[in-house]
Structure 1
């Protein structure tokens, strides 16, 4: 089942008005990887904010007068301002993508309920939309681990007749996804708190997911995929989708994998799981070398960390 849309609260209204204000101002910001974010913020002159993108993109502290008064008021009304000895800080970032604005967690996003948006979000949206261009329009769609809701919103914009369910176990993610869907005007997106698809009934024509996939010794929920290779959660998503795909339906899954001497352990696990199922998998490496800073630590055994897109389709004539 999906959650019903509650009446907007004062904080909801403030965030929505902030989104309108930013759109009117022509605000644009592309969120980069944490490593790039650190490097850019460490440059001389970048310690303090002087603009909207400095505050709401780069998460830099700011002093009175750095932002228009109405923007500060809306952040305060939304409960998204913090003050300390370093100055004022926005508790959110706002990223632009696909002609929309998306609210998500400020940098560094290290809280247990952090909501991420960045290059992998772009990649997952792109993979989902590429699939839509070659597949029949889905009537029912699920995004597992919706985060900011970016995939659900992008799909809903292209298929306005579809029922799009955005699921997550993180209440903060569901809140931001609901706000972002309202800002985008996608009334066919419904947020649902669910562990995978446990709280959602029925079959789906399209399931999309970009779950945590890293090996993380600290076991942080927004990063750790679980297991020896960080693949436990992506494989749980695969197993769930296999059981819930309608005939002709597809899973589009973006994940990462540590490649050792040419061997990809995620590919091997997927191949073993799908053997004899009659499902049609396509496994494609889309970036051969990402997050290289981890090769000195949790991935010291690996030659590289690659990003892959797995598409699994249930044949139309499947029972």
Structure 2
């Protein structure tokens, strides 16, 4: 349960205590069943639902209800879980009804995210990008922070201050904290997002994972003070006509927000601190405009940094939209910046 006595501290976040407690208990009870579900792309998800709608007399499992977000009758869900969904106000009206939340698994943790499809601006995203982001974090921390051959900005026995900017479900922050715990490092984790629903789900996910967090409601760095030893972010990077918060990355075919977060992060890194930014960029005529902007921004710092194309082709369906008519492809990329001593 998340309340004033819990391990979650908040800044400008006032969740509904009864509904939050119900969702927390729901996630814990589902975890106790051995539930696991890898969340696919929306296209794959819809294809599965279309196929299932043509099949008759199928059993309904927890994976169907909380993973595929399929309709279910009240007798098909354990009474205790149904009661918790109702207490949380997370039963979508219909005959049959659907769950108002989905549950994804990531490295042994379960995480709440929004029901399918994610059409609302307040939707909390989870999908293949989340898994790529978590892998990027694990690889980067192993190579650049936790390696015995790598100097870290914080002393081996000091608390590592972690900030997840635009945290969504909190998956990235939880993955980073898990890595630190596994290496015997103490850490303090701050989850920041402009979306109150995202912070609510992230708080529940962290609570069930047993990771204390501080929540900050605001745009990028607006709601947090001070410097951090590790800043991670997976901002939205598509251009969304409806400007949905979880999806719209702004101008430059969706890269503007990623550029802003990267630039602001440079002023918030503690000496020796690391920025791990996972994002996507529309490649135009073979050129990467995000890399060009980052090269210009970082050239004056003298700090070491690296840039990797993680997946050359993601969200290919977006390329059929007129605004992307000049784009070759959309690539998932990872930027790692290591702050040296001295001012930025």
TM-score tier by shorter-chain length is: over 0.9
Equivalent in 180, 192, 211 of residue 235 of structure 2: 211
**Cα distance in 1 between the residues matched to 2:59 and 2:246:** 27
SS in 2 for 1:205: strand
Equivalent in 203, 223, 246 of residue 178 of structure 1: 203
**Cα distance in 1 between the residues matched to 2:253 and 2:14:** 40
Equivalent in 59, 62, 73 of residue 83 of structure 2: 73
Give a deviation string over 1:174-229, Cα, whole Å, max 9, x none. Answer: 11011111100112x21111211122111111100001111223322221111132
**Cα distance in 2 between the residues matched to 1:83 and 1:7:** 23
Query: What is the TM-score with the length of structure 2 in the denominator?
Result: 0.86
**1:91 correspondence with 2:100:** yes
Is the 1:49–1:62 contact (alpha carbons within 8 Å) kept by the matching residues of 2? no
**1:18 correspondence with 2:17:** no
Aligned residue runs from structure 1 range 157-172, under 5 A: 157-160=178-181, 161-172=186-197
**Aligned counterpart, 1:235:** 259
Is the 1:40–1:46 contact (alpha carbons within 8 Å) kept by the matching residues of 2? no
**Cα distance in 2 between the residues matched to 1:91 and 1:175:** 14
Structure 1, unaligned runs of 5 or more: none
**Cα distance in 2 between the residues matched to 1:174 and 1:291:** 25
**Cα distance in 2 between the residues matched to 1:202 and 1:270:** 23
SS in 1 for 2:292: helix
Is the 2:272–2:339 contact (alpha carbons within 8 Å) kept by the matching residues of 1? yes
**Aligned counterpart, 1:132:** 141
Is the 2:85–2:91 contact (alpha carbons within 8 Å) kept by the matching residues of 1? yes
**Cα distance in 1 between the residues matched to 2:66 and 2:19:** 17
Equivalent in 316, 324, 334 of residue 299 of structure 1: 324
Is the 1:49–1:55 contact (alpha carbons within 8 Å) kept by the matching residues of 2? no
Aligned residue runs from structure 1 range 132-151, under 5 A: 132-134=141-143, 135=145, 136=152, 139-151=160-172
**Cα distance in 2 between the residues matched to 1:210 and 1:176:** 16
**1:3 correspondence with 2:24:** no
Change (3 A) 1:257 1:198: same
Structure 2, unaligned runs of 5 or more: 1-8, 146-151
SS in 1 for 2:111: strand
Equivalent residue pairs, number:
316
Aligned residue runs from structure 1 range 19-34, under 5 A: 19-34=27-42
**1:107 correspondence with 2:116:** yes
**Cα distance in 2 between the residues matched to 1:315 and 1:46:** 59
Is the 1:205–1:249 contact (alpha carbons within 8 Å) kept by the matching residues of 2? yes
Change (3 A) 1:285 1:91: same
Please, which moves more after superposition, 171-180 or 217-226?
217-226
Structure with the bigger RCO (C-alpha within 8 Å, sep 6+) is 2
Deviation, structure 1 residue 281? 2.1
Deviation, structure 1 residue 19? 1.6
Deviation, structure 1 residue 132? 1.8
**Cα distance in 2 between the residues matched to 1:269 and 1:262:** 15
Deviation, structure 1 residue 57? 0.7
Query: What is the TM-score with the length of structure 1 in the denominator?
Result: 0.93
